């Protein structure tokens, strides 16, 4: 790697995405990228994990169309107002102008809810919990960046639910938050959960809860959102049900989603100056075996490497038999983030041992060949907790508290990170704080506030976090 992970994060990120063969960024449409096989394997494991978590909590996977007719898309006034600048429209079929323009989904409420209206008849049809993993399109005007700000979001994992009471929808919001915590914990991606201020909620939602993580350069990235939609969409799309009292009522809804950004976070948070450091859970190759050949011992080494590969069949193993120097192989696999390297040469064979090298700490040690399976398993687990723990520590080290506008600015803008501070809760004051500090309010924490508002000096009602986001 030419670039340094922390000191030069933005360049590091571009370099590693390309050189570790995650994406090909040369596709000739802005904000749209190609998944290469190595990156795609990581993506598949991430998708598998969220599927497992959602399936285990009673969600069912479905698949709705990409095209949304204009009259459905435009029904919910706030939703269309929030998205109209970002929608791609299909206006023609061949040379014929379409009578009804079709939107490429920027998200799928308006594709799914007209159908929910057909499916839901009575309270017994609920809760209805559906999810899909699809691509969505957003004509983003801010600076696009691989996996972070896409025009084609390729890995949109969106869930949509309907409930017979406001309480049940509220319970669903909590379940969704718990699912996402499990998901990010498994991936070792640390997060801050906060409620978005009203002016920053999802268009059409009652309120939005967001997960943010902090990148090595101190910028935050919103990696998931959970929305309580109340009855806003059910009124618009006439999703009604007969309640136990025999009356017609509008359904209560929630939706929540995660995008490719989770993969951006995985790659960004677990790297270092040598490249990626993949969590063993998602690594396409968990163990790379490098044979150390000596002139007349090549055949011996090769046959032992074959046996070793068989002994390690529980793991995703790759033998690098390329005819290049071992050092060049080490460099490549470090860049690609393979968690564990196993070296096997004539000396190791003679002594009945193998050499292991951890990607995360660089530690190198030798273990008896007879224990290799167990030791590899243990070491992969240790790597996983080491990476998870380091990412958490790094993130926490970037959260500071601030009691004045000046402090907010210096902590966030100069030192790079996030601040906790207190706010009176009034929108005008909140926006004033954002303007004078030139830092955004990310969200409201679920904590009792004490002291005074950093903007107006009146009694504080909320503890908030502020930062600069991608
Ligand atoms: N329908 C709801 C829940 S799925 C929805 O669309 N929410 S959202 O607009 O907040 O998007 C869900 C998540 O997608 C966001 O939290 C963010 O992490 C991610 N996201 C949004 N826009 C982009 C983009 N242009 N590129 C990559 N990820 C994005
Ligand atoms: Zn105030």
| Residues 271, 170 contacting (CB under 8 angstroms) | no
Q: Ligand nearest 452 Cα, by number?
A: 2
b (16+ CB within 10 A) / e for 86-117: ebeeeeeeeeeeeeebbbbbbbbbbbbbbebb
Surrounding residues of ion ligand 2, Cβ less than 5 A? 424, 429, 453, 455-456
Q: How far apart are CA 338 and CA 294, in angstroms?
A: 25
Q: Which residues surround ligand 1 with Cβ inside 6 Å?
A: 107, 109, 138, 140, 149-150, 153, 158, 202, 222-225, 227, 255-257, 259-261
List of residues 6+ apart from 7 with CB closer than 8 A: none
Residue 161 in 3-state DSSP? strand
In this predicted structure, what is the pLDDT of residue 349? 96
* DSSP 8-class letter at 272: B
Tokens of 291: 């044979």
The fourth-level CATH superfamily of domain 3-272 is Bira Bifunctional Protein; Domain 2 (3.30.930.10)
Q: How far apart are CA 10 and CA 3, in angstroms?
A: 9
Tokens of 459: 């009694």
Cα of 454 from ligand 2 centre, angstroms? 6
Cα of 404 from ligand 1 centre, angstroms? 32
- Can the peptide bond before residue 127 be classed as cis, meaning omega within 30 degrees of 0? yes
Strand partners, 209: 195, 226
In this predicted structure, what is the pLDDT of residue 188? 98
Q: How far apart are CA 463 and CA 454, in angstroms?
A: 10
Tens of pLDDT along the chain (470 residues)?
A: 999 999 999 999 999 999 999 999 999 999 999 999 999 999 999 999 999 999 999 999 999 999 999 999 999 998 999 999 999 999 999 999 999 999 999 999 999 999 999 999 999 999 999 999 999 999 999 999 999 999 999 999 999 999 999 999 999 999 999 999 999 999 999 999 999 999 999 999 999 999 999 999 999 999 999 999 999 999 999 999 999 999 999 999 999 999 999 999 999 999 999 999 999 999 999 999 999 998 888 999 999 999 999 999 999 999 999 999 999 999 999 999 999 999 999 999 999 999 999 999 999 999 999 999 999 999 999 999 999 999 999 999 999 999 999 999 999 998 889 999 999 999 999 999 999 999 999 999 999 999 999 999 999 999 999 999 99
Q: Which of 108, 261, 469 is the best mutation target for the ligand 1 pocket, counting ligand atoms within 8 Å of the beta carbon and taking the most?
A: 261
The fourth-level CATH superfamily of domain 287-382 is Anticodon-binding domain (3.40.50.800)
**CATH architecture entry for 400-467:** 2-Layer Sandwich (3.30)
In this predicted structure, what is the pLDDT of residue 294? 87
Cα of 74 from ligand 2 centre, angstroms? 36
Give residue limits of the domains in the chain. 3-272, 287-382, 400-467
């Amino acid at each position: 790697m030419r670039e340094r992970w922390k000191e030069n994060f933005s360049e590091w990120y571009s370099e590693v995405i390309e050189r570790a063969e995650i994406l090909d960024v040369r596709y000739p449409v802005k904000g749209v990228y190609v998944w290469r096989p190595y990156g795609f394997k990581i993506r598949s494991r991430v998708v598998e994990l969220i599927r497992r978590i959602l399936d285990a909590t009673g969600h069912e996977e479905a698949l709705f169309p990409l095209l949304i007719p204009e009259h459905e898309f435009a029904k919910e006034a706030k939703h269309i107002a929030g998205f109209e600048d970002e929608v791609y429209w299909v206006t023609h079929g061949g040379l014929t102008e379409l009578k009804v323009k079709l939107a490429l989904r920027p998200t799928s409420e308006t594709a799914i809810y007209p159908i929910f209206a057909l499916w839901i008849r009575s309270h017994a049809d609920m809760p209805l919990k559906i999810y899909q993993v699809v691509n969505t399109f957003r004509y983003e005007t801010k600076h696009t960046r691989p996996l972070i700000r896409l025009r084609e979001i390729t890995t949109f994992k969106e869930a949509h639910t309907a409930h017979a009471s406001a309480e049940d929808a509220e319970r669903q919001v909590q379940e969704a938050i718990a699912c996402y915590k499990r998901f990010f914990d498994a991936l070792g991606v640390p997060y801050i959960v906060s409620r978005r201020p009203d002016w920053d909620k999802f268009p059409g939602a009652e309120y939005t809860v967001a997960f943010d993580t902090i990148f090595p350069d101190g910028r935050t990235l919103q990696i998931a959102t959970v929305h309580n939609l109340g009855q806003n969409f059910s009124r618009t799309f006439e999703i009604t049900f007969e309640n136990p009292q025999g009356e017609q009522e509008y359904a209560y809804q929630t939706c929540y989603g995660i995008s490719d950004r989770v993969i951006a976070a995985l790659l960004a948070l677990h790297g270092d100056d040598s490249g990626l450091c993949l969590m063993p859970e998602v690594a396409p190759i968990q163990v790379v075996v490098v044979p150390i050949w000596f002139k007349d011992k090549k055949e011996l080494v090769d046959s032992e490497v074959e046996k070793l590969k068989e002994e390690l069949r529980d793991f995703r193993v790759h033998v690098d038999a390329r005819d290049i120097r071992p050092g060049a192989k080490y460099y490549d696999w470090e860049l690609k983030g393979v968690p564990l390297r196993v070296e096997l040469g004539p000396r190791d064979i003679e002594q009945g041992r193998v050499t292991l090298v951890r990607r995360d700490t660089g530690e190198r040690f030798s273990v008896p060949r007879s224990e290799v399976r167990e030791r590899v398993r243990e070491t992969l687990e240790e790597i996983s907790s080491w990476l998870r723990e380091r990412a958490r520590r790094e993130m926490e080290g970037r959260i500071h508290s601030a009691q004045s506008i000046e402090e907010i600015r210096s902590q966030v803008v100069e030192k790079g990170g996030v601040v906790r501070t207190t706010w009176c809760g009034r929108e005008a004051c909140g926006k004033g704080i954002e303007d004078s500090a030139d830092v955004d309010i990310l969200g409201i924490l679920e904590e009792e506030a004490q002291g005074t508002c950093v903007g107006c000096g009146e009694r504080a009602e909320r503890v908030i976090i502020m930062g600069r986001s991608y």
